[in-house]
Amino acid sequence: MAKTPIDALGPPELLRDIAHVLLTPEQIQQRVVELGAEISEAYQGKDLLIIGVLRGVIFFVADLARAITIPASVDFMSISRYGPSERTRGVVRLIKDLEEPIEGRHVLFVEDIIDTGFTLSYILNILRTRHPASLKVCALLDKQSFRLIDLPIAFRGFQIEDHFVVGYGLDYKQRYRNLPFIGVLKPEVYAPPPATPN
Ligand code: IMP
Ligand code: MG
C-alpha cells in the first residue's frame, strides 16, 4: 500500500503543530488487531469487561473491542486530575463511575498512555476494592522512562520515548484528538520560548 502523505492526514491548522508522525494509522491498526487476538485468547470462555477512562481512550477502545473475537462488555469512567503542573497532578477525583458492577468479572482496564503511572494506580486501587475475578491492564502506549509508580502491563501496544504525543484520542488542551495518527507535538506548542527581556 502506498504511504499516505502527512498533509492528507488531518486539518492543516493541527498538522503544523506536529513535529513528526510517530505511528501511522496503519501501524496503529495492525498492532490493535494483534492485541485483540492476544486478549481474545487470554480471556477465552471468561466474562470479559473492558473498562476505559474518558475521554482519550474511546478511540482505542472502539478499535480494540472490534478486534476482540470473544463476547465482551464495555464500560467507562471519568476522572479529573489536579496539580501545579502536567506531571505533578497527584490529586485524582472520580467524576463519573462505572455503570456496571465488576465483582466476580474479568476486568481489562484499557489506557491510551501510561506516563508516571499515577492515574492508573489510583484507578486500579478503586477497582480492586470491588473484587473483580481478575484485573489486568492493556495500554496502547507506554512511556516507561518517566514511570514513578511501577505497574504490571499485561498487554502493551508500543513502548515510546519520552515525547509529548497527540492524536488517535490523545490531546493537548483538548485539541488534536481527531488526528488519525499519533504524532510528536512540537515543544514550542506547550512550552513557548521565554519572553526576551528588553
Ligand atoms: P500518568 O498518570 O502520568 O501515567 O498520566 C497518564 C495520563 O496523562 C494519560 O491518561 C493522558 O491523559 C496524559 N498523558 C500523559 N502523557 C501524555 C502525552 O504524551 N500526550 C497526551 N496525554 C498524555
Ligand atoms: Mg487519559
> For 25-82, what is each residue's pLDDT tens digit?
999 999 999 999 999 999 999 999 999 999 999 999 999 999 999 999 999 999 987 7
63 lines ligand 1 (CB under 6 A): no
Q: Is 115 a residue of the active site?
A: yes
Residue of minimum CA distance from atom 20 in ligand 1: 165
Q: How far is the CA of 54 from the centre of ligand 2 (A)?
A: 7
**Residues 116, 85 contacting (CB under 8 angstroms):** no
pLDDT tens digit sequence for 149-189: 778 999 999 999 999 999 999 999 999 999 999 999 999 99
- Set out the domains of the chain in order of their start, with CATH numbers: 25-161 (3.40.50.2020)
Exposure class string for 71-108: b at 16+ Cβ within 10 A, else e: ebebbbbeeeeeeeeeeeeeebeeeeebeeebeebbbb
Q: What DSSP designation does 13 have?
A: H
Other beta carbons within 10 angstroms of residue 24's beta carbon come to 17
User: For the whole prediction, is pTM greater than 0.85?
Assistant: yes
